[in-house]
Chain A
Amino acid sequence: MSIKIKLSPFLNCEETSKLISLTREEKISLWSKLQKRMHLSMCDACTKFENFVNKSGDIVQTPPPPEKMPKSIRDKIENK
């Protein structure tokens, strides 16, 4: 993803959401961080998106109790 560095501190939702996703992958510049915070302070939608990105990452890390191997698969493995 190529982030164009804008001079203006104001980003739109598309630019901000890309930054939000990128934050999870690599370090973003201080200026980008500022721009992101600026937009987030004014935009509920993007705030929700950031929350979603972080929380969904956490939720999939902790799965509920595991499923048992079904007998059909167990039999097939035993017979190989």
Chain B
Amino acid sequence: MRSITIHIFSNIVSERWLNDYGDQLYAHAKSRLNNEEEILDVLQDTFVAALESVSRFRGDSSELTWLLGILRHKIFDVYRKRARKNTFTAEAVNVYEEFKEQDRYNVAIVDRAPGPDKIAENRELYFAIMNCIGKLPQMQTDAFTMRELDNLTTKDICNILSISTTNLNVILYRARINLQKCLHEKGINDVD
């Protein structure tokens, strides 16, 4: 009898979470993971974990913050698994070649006057960058995401990905170079 009560209780609670916070949780998961199956798994895991530890929730933060916290950890677990699976192959990005290509000291910086549709531009820029992040090698995507979107410390990221600080710095460096390259290919040469 007790297990049925718990079952009903769980359904009511998760139903409410789904209604009240579903969209926000989904939006967050979507900004960190790129396939729907992973997103579904991570959201389900979040609800399960939340139900299991609901007694431990002290109400010192909002429910949404708490759920988002669980979701973030579930997402980091995905990154952790990925890092273990992939052997990190060094990307042969010859950066110096990239810079040598153009006549550096004579390039003038073209000053773009801000247009009236600035907000639309920023939106487009946001999606362009997110798209480019998704195109990076897995390791670079995950490291960059944890750094710039989740603001994790170097120590935490290194723990999750099982890499050294030096290694992380290299990965982030390559990610940034690749991102700029990707944006150039989209025709975006200035960010603001």
Contact = CB atoms under 8 A, between A and B. Distances in A.
B191 interface: yes
Q: Size class of A's contact patch? A: 35 or more
Contact of B169 (A12, A21, A72): A21
B30 interface: yes
Chain B binding surface, main DSSP class: helix
Nearest to A15: B96
Interface string A38-80: 0000111111110111011101111110111110111011101
A14 to B, nearest CB: 4
Contacts, number: 123
B50 interface: no
B44 interface: yes
B99 to A, nearest CB: 4
Nearest to B166: A1
Interface of A: 1-2, 12-14, 17-18, 21-22, 24-26, 42-49, 51-53, 55-57, 59-64, 66-70, 72-74, 76-78, 80
